[in-house]
Amino acid sequence: MKATTKRDVFRTIHLIGAIIIGAYVYSPWSELEWFALLNKAIVVPVLTISGLWMWQGHKLQAWMNK
């Protein structure tokens, strides 16, 4: 997979996660327990991993290729 394709995939994942968190913060859905659990258990960790990968992924790949 090309680097530009990886970057586009991670960027899309990051934007979708940000939209879900925005819906959690600014909508009445925050009162739903399953939606809060979804955000805490899935969305936030995925956003963290995708953000770190976009920021420092090149260093991790270089380290893994050694």
Q: Mean pLDDT throughout 54-61?
A: 86
pTM for the predicted model, two decimal places: 0.77
Q: Can you give the residue ranges of every domain in the chain?
A: 3-65
pLDDT tens-place string over residues 19-50: 999 999 999 988 899 999 999 999 999 999 98
**In angstroms, what is the C-alpha Rg of the chain?**
15
Name which of 41, 49, 57 is nearest 4 in CA terms: 57
Query: Per the structure block, which two tokens stand in for 10?
Result: 């991670």
Q: Determine the angle formed by the axes of helices 44-65 and 3-26, rounding to 10 degrees.
A: 160
